[in-house]
Chains A and B, each alone.
Chain A
Amino acid sequence: MDLQDLRKLEHKRRVRYGYMWALFCAVLWGLWYLPGTVVWVLNPFDEMYGEIAAGSGDSMALIITAVLITAFNALTVILALMVWNGVLGKFGEMKRTLKQFKPCSKWFFLASIFGGPVAILGSFIAMGFVGGAFAAVAALMYPVVGSILASQWYGEKISKRAATGIFFIIIGGFVIFGGGLLSELGTGNVPWIGYMGGLMAAVGWGIEGAIAGKGLDVAEPDVGLTLRFLGENIIWWIIAVPLLAIAGFPMVKYALLAFEPLTMMVLIFAGITFGFCYVTWYKSFPLIGVGRGQGIGNLYGLFAVVFIILFFGDIPSWTLLLGGAFCLAGSFTMFSEDTSGLESLRGE
């Protein structure tokens, strides 16, 4: 083998690593839906929902409970990430990166605003006011926002082929959630705030990816991600939860009740899956770009439905097979792309 072949091989391997990370992200994100679904029926969140619903209505109860669940999710995620960074010996690098607030860490704090209160809360609002299927479909649009921003803002290359792949994966998601989507929208009067939530999810995660891509130019993915969750914890625990408590919602009471073994176990499972889904997401960006990383990450829709079927024993409908076929077609379109033009992900 000569030098050129070796170089090509090494380059191919880099791209393959990037796709592998993105695929892991999709699997873990799909897995997260198990604890993410179960936690709602566990106490104290179940009781909390009931109490707020009695006073302020179901939709409000859903959002307020979502804030507390998301806050706990962020807390267990950062615990998982601390262990991860400790194992990798990256605390030193974390301190160095944190100190460079202006050139570097500010991007990760900004990413946490878009990923946390905008995207996750938006997703819950869409779920509460329209329905779960609508929320899932709306979130599927985020790679479109992410790849357009990354290409306009810092010239990330996005080939026609990659765009086609992303498009197919989105279509697949639409088909998977299509039935539920139609019945949710068919009920007639959907409040505008539900659509707003859907928009927040797509735009929030898209912007988060593009901003993170910018910060990752000059930072380590593992470290950058931990700073992003540090930001999210500050937002929920120092700002949102106290504000809601002052507004009269029973935040503190139920937060203290969350320390039961079963609830904690489910929350820790949620933290591990969500945390490592983000680790792999951020690791894929420098290797294959924000657009491709998010496109493959979108397979979470398929994985979520598959895992829910496996674990809860729901009966799969034919739309899952058809949608899954679209997702696979889209992924292969991207995996099989000739990557020799991707030596650098940015245009000259």
Chain B
Amino acid sequence: MAGNLPIKFRMLELFSDEQPHWNYEIVQKIQKEYNLTGDFYRDSINFDLIELASGGMLKGIESKVDDEGIYKKGFLLHKYAITDFGKVRASNVCLVYV
């Protein structure tokens, strides 16, 4: 299934279940939904997550080193959760807030 929403919209939507998610879960999900394969898209989608966090819409709550290479071996994995500001922005972009 190809996604119809801009990627950052879809990310906020995925986080609006108010559960924390690991970055690799979100990146893999988006890659699959939007049919964007390859390392280049993986990194550029992860960068969208970094921008959302730096803009204060997501906050990092846990990190661990990727020892097993689930995502990128030796790099940090981050677990993010949506912030109140992120919820406001999510509802601004007309996502149905669950």
B-binding residues in A (CB < 8 A): 3, 6-7, 10, 14, 88-89, 92-93, 96-97, 99-100, 102-104, 216-221, 223, 286-287, 342-346
Contacts and interface: CB of A to CB of B under 8 A. Distances in A.
Contacts of A342: 54
A96 B41 contact: no
B14 interface: no
B29 to A, nearest CB: 16
Contacts of A89: 36, 40-41
A218 B8 contact: yes
Given A7-B63, A96-B3, 8 more contacts: A3-B76, A6-B76, A96-B7, A217-B8, A218-B92, A220-B8, A221-B51, A345-B56
A22 to B, nearest CB: 14
Say whether chain A's binding surface is mostly helix, strand, loop, or mixed: helix
Contacts of A219: 6, 8
Nearest to A287: B54
A3 B8 contact: no
Interface string B51-90: 1111111011001110000000000100000000100010
Contact of B51 (A6, A104, A286): A286
B56 to A, nearest CB: 3
Given A6-B63, A343-B60, A220 B48 contact: yes
A211 to B, nearest CB: 14
A344 B56 contact: yes
